[in-house]
Structure 1
Amino acid sequence: MGTWSHEPFGNDDANDWAYDLEGSSDLSIVEQALDDALEAEDYLEAPEGANAVAAVEVLAKLLGKGTQSDAYTEKIDEWIKTVNEQPSTALLEKAKRVLERVSAEDSELHDLWSEVGNKEWAASIDVLKAAIS
């Protein structure tokens, strides 16, 4: 897992996904990442989970409640300045379901973070839940 932090953009998958936002001016790419995670059959693989968590962070930032601000989120912060849309209630509800999904036992992210005994990731998911609530 190309991961260096428990934060939403603390991994290669999320940072690669962030480049997909370039050139878009709406939340369709964010919603697609959420849908991909929710539509996963049986087991949610880490890349889809990481992208979905990053998408939730984007929504939190749009609400002015982002949980990560560093060099890894600079491109996201710049993109947010170009978006003239706020997340709908339905999209925020979907984001909450995604956070439940990535935290479940049938999620590779849950498994990977549990294996290393790192509780910071679970705590960061809880902070993200609060940010979009």
Structure 2
Amino acid sequence: MATWQLGPFDNDDAVEWCANLESADSGQRLELVRHSLEAAITAGPALTVEEAARAIAAAAIVLQSLTGVPPSDSAYAPRFLLGRGDLPASPSLRILARLALDATLVEGSTWRLRWAGDIEEEDALAVVEDLRTKLSP
């Protein structure tokens, strides 16, 4: 996973995932987000860095659908969804997003191990923790 900044959309996997989301029919977008969140939850310890990146992006999109504000100022943030009804905010989607972030943040996850010892480790964790906090009811 090539990462150039710490935001939820600032890595190759998230950018590719967002491009797939944008090219999907509007009726399929909710399912794509839901699938990415569920994949992270069910993967458990086998969660890959790529799956984690997609789940973090999906969770950020859920937050965007709740607030109407992009959770990142990244040039790669999916602003194409703003003002659209493609991803209606629901309590169940919010819960899925939080659980997916929990799976990403769990001690020993591949995503955390990818950041272990990195000079930006604390900042990377803080970005995901902030998303998680903002997704709290």
1:3-34 CA distance string (max 9 Å, x none): 11111011000000011212332411100100
Deviation at 1:114, TM superposition (A): 1.8
Q: Structure 1 pair 34/102, CA: closer, same or farther in 2 (3 Å)?
A: same
Aligned to 2:54: 51
| Stretches of structure 1 lacking an aligned partner (at least 5 in a row) | none
1:37 and 2:19 matched: no
CA RMSD in angstroms comes to 1.7
1:34 corresponds to which letter in structure 2? L
What is the CA-CA distance between 1:86 and the residue it aligns to? 1.9
2:96 corresponding residue in structure 1 = 94
Matched, 1:70 2:71: no
Gap runs ≥5 in structure 2: none
Q: How many correspondences in the alignment?
A: 131
1:108-119 to structure 2, matched below 5 A, reads: 108-117=110-119, 118-119=121-122
CA distance in 2 between partners of 1:41 and 1:68 (Å):
27
Identify the range of structure 1 (8-17 vs 32-41) with the bigger mean alpha-carbon deviation: 32-41
What do residues 109-130 of structure 1 show as CA deviations (whole Å, max 9, x unaligned)?
1111123142111111121012
> Aligned to 1:97, what secondary structure does the other structure show?
helix
TM-score with structure 2 length normalisation? 0.86
Output the CA distance in 1 between the equivalents of 2:87 and 2:15: 22
Runs of 4+ residues deviating >3 angstroms: none
Residue 4 of structure 2 is matched in structure 1 by: 4
What does residue 18 of structure 1 align with? 18
Give the Cα separation in 1 of the matches to 2:51 and 2:82: 22
The separation in 1 between residues aligned to 2:86 and 2:8, in whole angstroms, is 23
